[in-house]
Amino acid sequence: MPTHKTPAQPDTRQPRQARLRIGIVGGGIGGVALAVALSRRSDLEVHLFEAAERFSEIGAGVSFGPNAVRAISLLGLEAAYRRIADASPAPCEDVWFEWRRGRDEAYLTASLAPGCGQSSVHRADFLDAIVAHLPAGIAHFGKRCQAVVQDAEGISVSFADGSEFRGDLLIGFDGIKSAVREHVLPVADFGEVGPRWSGTQAYRGLVPVERLRRALQEAGCDERLAVVPQMYLGTDRHILTFPVKQAALINVVAFVTDRSCPEPQLPEGAPWVVEVSQQAMLEDFPGWGAASKAILGCIDQPTRWALHELPELPRYARDRVLIVGDAAHAMLPHQGAGAGQALEDAYVLAGLLSDPHAERNNVAAVLAAFEAARHARTRRVQATSREAGDVYECRGDGIGADEARLAADLERRFDWLWQHDPRDDVALARRRLKWPTPAVAVAGDTELPTT
């Protein structure tokens, strides 16, 4: 697992004077991006709590649509991102994915994201890039959240190491297995709202691009399939490829879905991620074409991931406590949208909390306004990410295996998702709060309200 530099840990027992004292639980991409944005305000005291002993990310490549790249820019992280990001190669700069028939690689259509294309990074590289912007004295490690209590004056968080944090508000950016979520949505009131298996397993691997080029050439396939992002579609299965690590590696994910029952269950105690043999993976794609076999044949030691998601939650905020990112709306990866939604959350929340009108006595109203601005969009992204997997695997409602309808859907499916501007969410929340129109300070790529 990649590791990351760990800033010195501060003493959180004695609060200093600040407009707001903010706790963030979870040191992944979204949590760190939020902490970086908030740390630019001298009137905010920010503490980031990570359960692990250092910053780390699991997984390999992550894809960002135009909306996510826009959020990265607004958060002031575009320069850091551009240094490590991959893109669709010329002359296919605008291609997000080309779509092909899995059994013979026949071209169906392409989804285009003008000016962006397939913008992607290795997860660990991106976390490294944004951690570099995090000031010393903000991050705390080995802090596994155990309990959250709030009262009229603030929140208290207890950690497994016996330490505590007292602040004005708490942001749960702690992922699909969030500890903060149970406080926001108590089981006694809302029932079980934890992760559920989607029925989909995903085989993952990173392949050196030159090895994949050779394999495709030997299989009689066009070598461009190695570097132009591709999706190969079939019944209950699909395979995707796109470059990472400055196109030195190709991220490969091969999906297989069991649709035999409406509520699939993993065996009790089964791990979400396991190592499997290449042969087991290949046996899950019988009858697929030469390119698909060549791609999978380059993954010597695949891992298989049981893909989980959250149900669409009724709320994200409870007074002074808010869940965001995967803690609130963990989704399937079929639109490449999960990390982008976390970054949109981070920008919108930073925009509200950075405003001097956000004070101790109105924290609950600010978090409620955030929820009102974001809830419908994130739930829709969850739902359409699930639907997209059905479309790719020839199970889409009204589409099935009809290739003309499939192509038409894929050409327009992502427009609403990509065209969104999170500044509109900030404006919506501000109107709800009846705040005046702010002056806007632009420092580098950052655009957040200030006095």
Active-site positions read 204
Query: Is the preceding peptide bond at 91 cis, omega within 30 degrees of 0?
Result: yes
**∠ CA 131-302-343 to the nearest 5 degrees?**
30
| Rg value, the chain, Cα | 22
- Give residue 186's region: left, alpha or beta (phi > 0; psi -120 to 50): beta
Q: CB within 8 A of 135, min separation 6: which ones? A: 7, 39
Question: What 3 state SS string does 47-78 have?
Answer: EEEECCCCCCCCCCEEEECHHHHHHHHHECCH
CA neighbor of 309 nearest in space, from 144, 129, 175: 175
Do residues 367 and 317 lie in contact, with contact meaning Cβ atoms separated by under 8 Å?
yes
Report helix, strand or coil for 164: strand
How far, in Å, CA of 330 to CA of 142, rounded? 24
Q: What is the dihedral of CA 214, 219, 222, 224, to 10 degrees?
A: -40
Report helix, strand or coil for 251: strand
CA dist 78 → 69, 70, 216 (Å): 8, 9, 34
DSSP 354-374: TSTT--GGGHHHHHHHHHHHH
Ramachandran angles phi, psi of 398, nearest 5°: 75, 5
DSSP 82-132: HHH-B-PPTT-TTEEEEEEETTT--EEEEEE-TTTSSEEEEHHHHHHHHHT
CA neighbor of 332 nearest in space, from 243, 424, 240, 421: 240
